[in-house]
Chain A
Amino acid sequence: MKDIHLIRLRVNDREHELAVESRRTLADMLRHDLGYTGTHLGCEHGICGACTVLVDGSPARACLMFGVQADGREIRTVEGLADGEQLSDLQQAFSDHHGLQCGFCTPGFLMLAEAYLSDTASDGTDPTEAQVRELVASNLCRCTGYQGIIEAVLATARSRRSAGAP
């Protein structure tokens, strides 16, 4: 007998109501029940970070959360970053700095970095290369050697700060 729960959540500012089995992971729910297939599963044990999404603004491994735990929460996935076809500054920076190759890990890095940039913007500091490297070490990428990812995050931090400066 399946243990089904009715839950309600917002994903990328869109309301969803669905019935979900208690053991279903947030990642599977987002991908297969709601169609947000940009959230990728690389290890399903919380190491690689490809499934990173924002839960109430904080990065979380969607493979380590159950869907029911998202009840009443605000989720942001990679599909919520661009404005239509217009890439966000962070997405554009990833392309400019060749911060992706196969693109499988990319959504996780984007969400991780997006949360970090929001945090650092609010405390008004410019991140150092070492800080960004430590952040980027949260997730695994098998293609790029990380350099383009680090450069993209640093460049976005700089441009947001200069744009936000009085």
Chain B
Amino acid sequence: MTGAGRERAPAIGARLPRKEDPRLLRGLGRFGDDFTARGQLWARMVRSPVAHGRIRSVDTTRARRAAGVVTAVTAASLPAGLAIPVRLKVQDIDLNDYLQPILATNRVRYVGEPLAVVLAEDPYLAEDAAELVDVDIDEAPAVLDAAAAAAPGSDRLFASGNVAADFTLGYGDVETAFAQAARVVQIDVEIGRHSGVPLEPRTLLADVDPLTGALSLFGMTKVPVFNRDVLASLLGIDETLIHVHAVDAGGGFGVRGEFYPEDFLVPWLAHVLRRPVKWVEDRAEHLVAANHSRQQSHRIAAAFDSEGRITGLRDEVVHDNGAYCRTHGILVPELTVAMLPGPYRIPAYHGRIQVVLTNKTPCGTYRAPGRFEGTTAREQLLDVAADQLGMDRVELRQRNLLAPRELPCQRPMSTLGTDVVLDAGDYPALLAAAVAEAARLGYPAEVGRGRQAGRLRGLGLAAFLEKSGLGPQETADVMVSNTGAVHVFSGGTSLGQGIETALAQIAADALGVDPAAVSVVNGDTNLQPFGGGSWASRSTVVAGSAVHAAASAVRLRAAQIAARILEASEDDLAEGDRAEGDRGERGGGFHIRGDPTAAVSLAEIARATAPASRYLLPGEPAGLSARRRFEVAHMTYPYGVHVAVVEVDPGTGQVQVLRYLVAYEVGRAINPMMVEGQLRGGAAQGIGGALLEEFCYDEAGQPQSATFMDYRMPTAAEVPPIDILVEQQAPAPGNPLGVKGAGEGGVSAAGAAVASAVRDALGLADSVGRLPLTPARVRALAGSSSRAADDPGGRPEFLGALGHMAEAGPGLTSGRPAATPATTDH
């Protein structure tokens, strides 16, 4: 078999339109709330109105009597002792004391904690009745400050205290590095509490077989197989009685699809009542019920030698995890300290993190968990250090980035149960490319022009390391049906990222067919019972590699059958079945080399594998299909650089992002259009976290960000056009496709790059201190700015470096600003 047949343009690498688009554009996507079961009941959660207190009573008497109500349940109705288990256990730390119960029993610990469920014939009636549930809580002081909560003597949320975990990752002799340093630089950086906030709220429909109690679930995504198994275990039934269906999902971002209390309550009620139950979260609920993320404070310090080389890095982190440890356990804290050294050469490192529980919504992952936070802290530190060392910001980073000859680099730490082995790349080259691209695009000139006109403009830059492709395994089935249609049943899940299209492109190339012939189903637990789900930028890497293996196996089997049909040796076969006319259009068939009339299409091959076919040997299974598993021990580590140009209005404190560049090494782009889309969308979310989004609480622990008026997500007015530089210079060595994940690189350094630019615009000597950089904070920073009114300056040496790096590039205008006009309020 050779590829001597007709030429087929590879699907991998092509900017193919997405397979998902037509149905979504026509309004024919199938999201959770679009599913309806005959006779379904509507569930409405009753949530705690107070942040902290002892429950005296939850009385459903009046609610049960309300119109249309079928039942109302409290913790007393539930099987005893149920709690949401941790999905990702790390560092062998036991969190059993801090798990969230399905419904609160003795105490409530955050506003929004589920207390009861009302079931009614209609969603409006369910909501009416929920207001009739009488909740009596003996309110206690709310514990809201993580650092104070960690201190001895604080009010306690749990008998075992408020610190769920306190651990350290690191290596090398940090003490000596700091003791012998030519210079030590230390800053404090806080990251505000925010989260993924997908546009579709959570939904779940549980349909039920009245005979067996078997459940069909619509709306569970991200990790459906894991959630199915958790649910089966909590219900005490066999997992095959639960079928999680593939649905469209209105964005995931880490938040959607984890196992929440509602994911037990809705199926449990359906299972017990033998009636379908539907639940649709509203936005106000989502903002207090779904996972929060990000809130940390860092005290980070680096030791430098006289040449500006880092000899040691130290970070003390306090992580505000909210009221419980949910499915992610302490994963985000672990990722924070494990990834903190980033792409740099760090001879000695000490990262300690305290995971503190407070009376706020519990936390989980949000796109680039731990990296958004840690990258902000580390890159602010480098900016401050560059100033103190009298060095250019780019030069300081170039001096400290790991060189290609130092890779692979194993850091003596683990995260997500894997050793940290930075696999392949050229970090300094990507930084240089990003700086050159920013210069080519006129970023420094734009800063310079603005400053000449008296505006407070700044240029920011941040380098980061990502991780992707988490194993330990992913499984895929590929099957060809009688018409030659190719079906992929993947363990990934569709959260809006375009994974159907990416997997179709991978399968198409492995089989030699047109991607249009491939259909992909993700996240159906019956069609793919061994899926690991979509998270951690893993799907293109691990699901893609599994699909590649399964499709390649089908290709080999097809060649074997083709040889039997054509009565030829496999060695004499060539790809393509042109002689078959339109049957050959989809590709995947074979002909005898030199005789295009002796051809067989993929459809004919598939039909030749039917039971009782004469082309099957005794004992061979029927069907043209294969299941393959891709296993991988280590993650693959993409990396990148963000560059931002901002303008600060000193009067209002508003920060406008004028230009933004994401430069990213992706190994190999299956669909460059989708890679760019991931990076752009990520950058928009990152800008939101840097400038706008924050879950605020009052002193009683009442959420102050419970609508989209108060939780401010960026609109098109806040997000500039995002420039993208996708590099494919460093294919991942650990998978057959060479791919690295692209899901999170747009977010990782956005907080850092925006902070860097604002600091530059304001001419701060210290760090920006805290994200988000809201107008009030920026006004305060501007008041403390060291910049004299007659110095619009900033850091000309950095602008100079940008210009210098790009001298050979086209369209370069000098980035060095003239230092004349005065800065005035405007």
Contact = CB atoms under 8 A, between A and B. Distances in A.
B278 to A, nearest CB: 10
Given A95-B22, A98-B673, A103-B25, A40 B717 contact: no
Nearest to A39: B27
B199 A50 contact: yes
A132 to B, nearest CB: 9
Contacts of B498: 101
B676 interface: yes
Interface string B708-737: 110001011101011000000000000000
A18 to B, nearest CB: 15
Contact of B31 (A104, A134, A143, A147): A104
B681 A144 contact: yes
Interface string B467-510: 00000000000000000000000000001111000000000000
A145 interface: yes
Given A48-B199, A91-B26, A143 B496 contact: yes
A110 B716 contact: no
B496 A146 contact: no
A103 B717 contact: no
Interface of A: 21, 23-24, 28, 31-32, 36-45, 47-48, 50, 77-79, 81-82, 85, 87, 91, 94-96, 98, 100-107, 110, 133-134, 136-150
27 contacts: A32-B36, A37-B31, A42-B201, A44-B282, A44-B283, A48-B199, A78-B26, A79-B26, A79-B28, A81-B26, A96-B17, A98-B674, A98-B677, A101-B497, A101-B498, A102-B24, A102-B496, A103-B20, A103-B21, A103-B24, A104-B250, A107-B27, A133-B717, A142-B251, A145-B684, A147-B680, A150-B716
Contacts of A107: 27
B717 A134 contact: yes
A25 to B, nearest CB: 10
B17 A95 contact: yes
B199 A102 contact: yes
B540 to A, nearest CB: 14
A31 B280 CA distance: 13
B441 to A, nearest CB: 15
B167 interface: no
B126 to A, nearest CB: 13
A81 B22 CA distance: 12
Given A81-B27, A147-B680, 11 more contacts: A40-B199, A41-B33, A42-B199, A78-B27, A95-B22, A101-B681, A104-B250, A104-B496, A134-B717, A140-B708, A145-B680
B200 interface: yes
Nearest to A88: B25
A140 B713 contact: yes
Contacts of B22: 85, 87, 95
A70 to B, nearest CB: 18
A94 B199 contact: no
Interface string B359-395: 0000000000000000000000000000000000000
A50 B250 CA distance: 11
Interface in B24-60: 24-29, 31, 33-34, 36
Nearest to B20: A103
Contacts of A36: 27
Contacts of A81: 25-27
Interface of B: 17-18, 20-29, 31, 33-34, 36, 123-124, 196-201, 248-251, 253, 282-283, 495-498, 673-674, 676-677, 680-685, 707-709, 713, 715-717, 719, 721-722
B534 to A, nearest CB: 12
Nearest to A85: B22
Q: Of B24, B31, B124, B495, which is in contact with the most chain A CB atoms at under 10 Å from its CB?
A: B24
Contacts of B283: 42-45, 48
A101 B31 CA distance: 14
Given A78-B26, A150-B716, A102 B709 contact: no
B645 to A, nearest CB: 16
B709 A87 contact: no
Q: Of B22, B716, B719, which is in contact with the most chain A CB atoms at under 10 Å from its CB?
A: B716
A77 B496 CA distance: 22
A155 B497 CA distance: 24
B282 to A, nearest CB: 6
Contacts of A141: 199
A75 B497 CA distance: 31
A48 B717 contact: no
A49 to B, nearest CB: 10
Contact of A149 (B27, B31, B249, B716): B716
Q: Is the interface of B mostly helix, strand, loop or mixed?
A: loop
A23 B253 CA distance: 34
A45 B708 CA distance: 8
Contact of B25 (A28, A98, A102, A110): A110
Contacts of B708: 43, 45, 47-48, 140
Contacts of B253: 142
Nearest to A100: B24
A27 to B, nearest CB: 11
A110 B28 CA distance: 14
A145 B25 contact: no
A53 B723 CA distance: 32
A103 to B, nearest CB: 3
A143 B199 CA distance: 9
A102 B684 contact: no
Contact of B199 (A77, A104, A148): A104
Contacts of B23: 103
A106 B124 contact: no
A42 B684 contact: no
Contact of A40 (B18, B250, B683): B250
Contacts of B722: 145, 147
Given A102-B248, A103-B20, A95 B199 contact: no
Nearest to B677: A98
A101 B251 CA distance: 8
A44 to B, nearest CB: 6
Contacts of B21: 94-95, 100, 103
Nearest to A111: B27
Given A45-B283, A98-B677, A102-B251, A137 B715 contact: yes
Given A100-B21, A104-B200, A142 B716 contact: no
A37 B30 CA distance: 8
B199 A105 contact: yes
Given A102-B250, A102-B496, A95 B25 contact: yes
A142 B713 contact: yes
Contact of B716 (A24, A41, A136): A136
Contacts of A21: 124
A102 B27 contact: no
Question: 7 smallest A-B Cβ distances: which pairs?
Answer: A38-B27, A102-B496, A103-B24, A104-B250, A145-B684, A78-B27, A47-B708
A154 B133 CA distance: 51
Given A47-B708, A96-B17, A104-B199, A144 B680 contact: yes
Contacts of B709: 45, 47
Contacts of A82: 25-26
Contacts of A23: 124
Nearest to B709: A47
A81 B24 CA distance: 12
A115 B123 CA distance: 32
